[in-house]
Structure 1
Amino acid sequence: MFEALWRYRYFVLASIAGELRGRFARSRLGLLWSILHPLAQAAIFALVLAEVLGAKLGGVEDKTAYPVYLLAGMAAWTLFSEILNRCLSVFIEYSGTLKKIAFPRICLPVIVWGSALLNHVFLLAAIVVVFLFFGYIPGAAWLVLPLGIVLISLFAFGLGVMLGIFNVFSRDIGQILTVALQLWFWVTPIVYPQTVVPEHLRWLLHLNPMVSLVGIYQDALVFNRMPDLAPLLLPTVIALGLFSLSFLLFKRASPELVDVL
């Protein structure tokens, strides 16, 4: 499969560019919408929670710290959810293409993966501008962001491809994931810091790999500090495990995908 991906690398790159153009065809703002949506969502949370409910970031007196904390968490979650959702539906979305054109089917999730990564780069560029507006100067800790991007994307890709294969055979998977993602978002410290979680419930945070992965962004962007590597060990193992398992599962299910579609 990896050899096939290399042989079709120009097809993959051209498809990523075509997907970005097609997604925002006949839109005046085009690619900006992929940046404005998460920024707008973070702004709404900041307005409601910080201004209306008076939420603050513990240990930080700066009023802009909480919106910055929200942006950091939303950036990490947007990357995760976009890759996961696109991989979940990619085989169904491109069912017509699979039936008409002969090419390695593994190219499809890789194309949506690359498209999501490109969107994320543009989003981070917009966040840098917002941070500068708030007076947050990028520090050396920002250099660790590629680690967060790699781990989150591997985790989301592996999980997304596996669920995407199951979704072909049972469309209930997509409906269940929609609800599960909403719950997953709220049990991940994005709109609230970990310190507000009651002591008797904090053990749940250790079961959620996204806590440590989102924490990479929060530590680097908000507090300008390097993340603690020890809590990242388990999420790294899970991400690599799911990534590897997704290719094995795809290899076994690939011959039946087109027939079921």
Structure 2
Amino acid sequence: MLRSLWEYRFFVLTSIWNDFYMRFVRSKLGGAWLILHPLSQVMIYAFILSNLLASRIPGISGSYGYAIYLMAGLLGWNLFSEVLDRCMKVFVKNANIIKKMSFPRITLPIIEIGSALLNNMVLLAVMVIIFFLLGHGIDWSILTVFLLAPVVALLAAGIGITLGVLNVFIRDVEQVMPIILQLMFWFTPIVYPAGAIPEQYLQYLRLSPIFQIVSAYHEAIVFHRFPPLAPIAILFVLALFACALAIFMFRRANADMVDVL
């Protein structure tokens, strides 16, 4: 599998670039949509909840503190949800190609992961510019994002590919996951601070990998602190386990997927 990925590396890289490039060609606003969607979320939540929750976020001051907190959390969440969603739908979306062409099918989720990471890095660059305009400085701790992003992508890809294989045989998976993701979003301190959650519930929410991901993004971007390495190491181990399960299921179901699709 690794050998086939290496042999098709130019196909993977070209496909990632084409996916990114076509966003600029097929619409008048082009790549601006990469920025407008998360920023529209930030403006909506900031307009509704800023006065209510801004004062409850320790270590943040200023009129735009809550918006900065939101953008940092959404950066981590968007990467996880986009990779998971892309990998979950990749085999069904490319059914015609899979049935008509002979090529390593594992390249398809790799292309989706690469495209999501590229989109996320563009969003990070734009957010850094916005932070400077809002008067929020950037510290060396932001470099932690480049360590976090691959771990988040690996974890989401492992879960997404596993769900993608199941989605070929049980199409309800694609319908159920948006509901689960919505629940995960609201049970993660993205639009509200972790301090707003009662301690008896907070200890259980901390068990969620997404909670740890968003907390690490907040530490690195908002509070200018390097996040603890222990949770990141645990996330990495979970990501490796999820990817191992995904590869196992993919290899077992690879031949049968063509017949079902």
Q: Which amino acid aligns with 1:238?
A: L
The alpha-carbon deviation at position 255 of structure 1 amounts to 0.9
Tell me if structure 2 keeps the 8 A contact 1:35–1:119: no
Cα RMSD of the aligned pairs, angstroms, is 1.4
Match of 1:47 in 2: 47
Tell me if structure 1 keeps the 8 A contact 2:24–2:30: yes
State the distance in 2 between where 1:150 and 1:99 align.
31
> Are residues 23 and 256 of structure 1, via their aligned partners in 2, closer, same or farther at CA, if it must alter by over 3 Å?
farther
Match of 2:82 in 1: 82
Instruction: Provide the TM-score with structure 2 as the length reference.
Output: 0.95
Matches within 5 A, 1:110-121: 110-121=110-121
- Give the 4+ runs in structure 1 shifted more than 4 A: none
Tell me if structure 1 keeps the 8 A contact 2:53–2:192: no
Instruction: Provide the TM-score with structure 1 as the length reference.
Output: 0.95
The alpha-carbon deviation at position 88 of structure 1 amounts to 0.7
Q: Percent identity?
A: 45
The alpha-carbon deviation at position 23 of structure 1 amounts to 4.6
Matches within 5 A, 1:21-170: 21-23=21-23, 25-51=25-51, 53=52, 55-56=54-55, 57-170=57-170
Write out per-residue CA displacement over residues 62-97 of structure 1, whole angstroms, 9 at most, x where no aligned residue: 222111000000011111111010111110111011
The alpha-carbon deviation at position 206 of structure 1 amounts to 2.4
The alpha-carbon deviation at position 173 of structure 1 amounts to 0.6
Write out per-residue CA displacement over residues 188-240 of structure 1, whole angstroms, 9 at most, x where no aligned residue: 11111111111111122222111111122111110000001233343222111
> Are residues 150 and 184 of structure 1, via their aligned partners in 2, closer, same or farther at CA, if it must alter by over 3 Å?
same
Tell me if structure 2 keeps the 8 A contact 1:142–1:220: yes
State the distance in 1 between where 2:174 and 2:230 align.
33
Tell me if structure 1 keeps the 8 A contact 2:148–2:232: no
> Are residues 252 and 5 of structure 1, via their aligned partners in 2, closer, same or farther at CA, if it must alter by over 3 Å?
same
How many positions carry a matched residue from both structures?
260
State the distance in 2 between where 1:27 and 1:62 align.
36
State the distance in 1 between where 2:94 and 2:24 align.
18
State the distance in 2 between where 1:247 and 1:111 align.
16
